[in-house]
Amino acid sequence: MFPSSKSPPRFVTLVLLTAISVVSLNMFLPSLSNMARDFQVDYGLMNLSIAGYLAISAVLQIVMGPLSDRWGRRPILLWAMAIFTVASVGCWLAPNIWVFLGFRLLQGAVIAGMALSRAVIRDMAPPQEAASMMGYVAMVMALAPMVGPVIGGVLDQVFGWRMTFFLFAVMGAGVFALCWRDLGETNAAKSDTLMAQFRTYPALFGSRLFWGHVACQACSVGAFYTFLAGAPLVGESAFGLTPVMLGVGMGAITGGFVFGNFLSGRYARRYSLPSMMIAGRIVAIAGVGLGFVLLVAGFLHPVVLFGSVVFIGIGNGLTLPSSNSGALSVRPDLAGSASGLSGAAVVGFGAVLTSVTGAVLNEGNGVFVLMAILFLVCILGLVAAYDVRNTSKDAQ
């Protein structure tokens, strides 16, 4: 149905595919409280626009990975961008919360941009070089989600929250057009049948090394999702921040992510994947731990909260390119399936964390409970990174 293109994608195409997957999650978050008031629902129900989106994204990635190994990366990505564009129009025009949530779930198709762009990179390069490429791609694309909450906050104050979803539709159409023109097929070893591709999953399910990488990814990204879910409530109730100020603060974690990915791009070729993962987890723990101590000591200021999560961003930038490349390198011939399965597990864990965060936070305990959850998740990520290092040594 789509014309075949054989030229490999350019750097900018991989960046935008990844960026639109992330910005679709966080651009509208400064408007979450206003959206709840507009639809006349409580914050917990409105929070399903995050948790439900993550849950459906997890399910879709399980299917998209094998589909891309069977039929190629290009057609799956084009279909995903088309669905996202139509769903964004539905969210923009939604008359009530249930119609909105329905189209919001369909927006989850855009997760293919992140999952399959990793598979495209792994198709093109060996493990450590792929980690370096992923670092540079993530560094550049992270500028989009860093300014996304700021743009969303401004659009909310000037035009209302619906304008953000109109912008999503425009962005989706633009990325679709770019992929149509530039995204060449990189999967040179397509499987014979879809069922044959799904039967390869046991090879990944039985790999401790694969799941070690996935667990480290899940905890790293899970800290990011936890912060996104809790920051709107904490920012408004504990510090009285406006949507614009909240958007600036929420962009802080992405600023750290840019720097962390720059370091990955520079050093991933020199150091082993487990070493980069461990370094990232230590940085994240140090930042959140210091922030927690300052808050408990009475320094209740938004700079302490948002400053500490900058280190989560730096740690994720160090960890994720290497853990992603490692997961896709356990079985290079199953890169698409590995990307889909790991992405599903990561997003599914994120959905659980956002649901738990939304359920336990309230205006009285928000900032302290949020920091405690972040610290615990970062610790678990470090444990997983050390397990990867030990399992890698045993396999040698």
pTM for this one?
A: 0.70
Q: Is the residue at 300 inside a domain?
A: yes
Could you tell me which of 373, 340, 378 has the C-alpha nearest to residue 221? 378
286 burial class (0-12, 13-18, 19+ CB within 10 angstroms)? middle
Q: Is the residue at 69 inside a domain?
A: yes
Q: What are the percentages of helix, strand and coil residues in the chain, rounded to 5?
A: 85, 0, 15
User: How many separate domains does the chain show?
Assistant: 1
Query: Domain of 77: which CATH number?
Result: 1.20.1250.20
Q: Is the residue at 203 inside a domain?
A: yes
Dist CA 154 CA 173 (whole Å):
22
Query: Please, what's the b/e burial string for 203-241 (b: 16 or more CB within 10 A of its CB; e: otherwise)?
Result: ebeebebbbbbbbbbbbbbbbbbbbbbbbbbbbbbbbeb
Q: Are 107 and 87 in contact (CB under 8 A)?
A: yes
37 burial class (0-12, 13-18, 19+ CB within 10 angstroms)? exposed
Dist CA 94 CA 395 (whole Å):
53
Q: Are 39 and 160 in contact (CB under 8 A)?
A: no
The boundaries of the domain holding residue 39 are 11-395
SS3 207: coil
Dist CA 115 CA 14 (whole Å):
11
pLDDT score at 195: 66
Q: Is the residue at 6 inside a domain?
A: no
Q: Is the residue at 70 inside a domain?
A: yes
Per-residue pLDDT of the chain (396 residues; tens, 9 = 90+): 454 556 678 878 888 888 888 888 778 888 888 888 888 888 778 878 887 887 788 788 778 877 877 777 888 899 999 999 999 999 999 999 999 999 999 998 998 888 788 778 877 777 777 777 777 777 766 676 667 888 888 888 889 889 999 999 999 999 999 989 888 777 666 665 566 666 666 777 778 899 999 999 999 989 988 888 888 777 777 777 777 777 777 777 778 888 898 888 888 888 888 999 999 999 999 999 999 899 888 887 888 888 888 999 999 999 998 998 888 888 776 777 777 778 778 877 887 888 888 788 777 667 888 888 999 999 999 999 999 999 877 655
Could you tell me which of 84, 92, 48 has the C-alpha nearest to residue 64? 84
Q: Is the residue at 324 inside a domain?
A: yes
Q: Is the residue at 5 inside a domain?
A: no
